[in-house]
Amino acid sequence: MAAGTIRYWAAAKAAAGVAEEPYAAGTLAEALDAVRERHSGGELGRVLLRCSFLVDGDPVGKRGHETVRLAEGGTVEVLPPFAGG
């Protein structure tokens, strides 16, 4: 299990109520499950369904979240869709 930081942007930040928080998880799926549990009852679970993710700067894309390993000291960026261009 690795420890690192989850950073929220835009609507995800507003829904989480914080800009960042720690994770302790082996995979992105585990980290997101913990986030959903920690923020249950709020809007964040719904916002996460529309988000894309970067793990240590690399886009997750369509990979299964259970296959994305997290590194010790790593960073997960939670990026909701952005409007405009």
Question: Using one digit for the tens of pLDDT, what is the confidence trace for 12-60?
Answer: 999 999 999 999 999 999 999 999 999 998 899 999 999 999 999 999 9
Determine the 3-state secondary structure of 15 from DSSP. Answer: helix
> Do 21 and 34 touch, CB atoms closer than 8 A?
no
Q: What is the pLDDT of residue 84?
A: 57
Domain that holds residue 41: 2-79
Count of domains for the chain: 1
Give the separation between CA 42 and CA 54, rounded to whole angstroms.
23
Give the pTM.
Answer: 0.92
> Do 60 and 54 touch, CB atoms closer than 8 A?
yes
Give the separation between CA 49 and CA 25, rounded to whole angstroms.
19
Q: What is the pLDDT of residue 22?
A: 97
Determine, yes or no, domain membership for 54: yes
Relative to beta strand 20-25, strand 52-55 is: unpaired
Determine, yes or no, domain membership for 45: yes
Q: What is the pLDDT of residues 64-78, one digit of tens each?
A: 999 999 999 999 999
Give the separation between CA 44 and CA 59, rounded to whole angstroms.
20
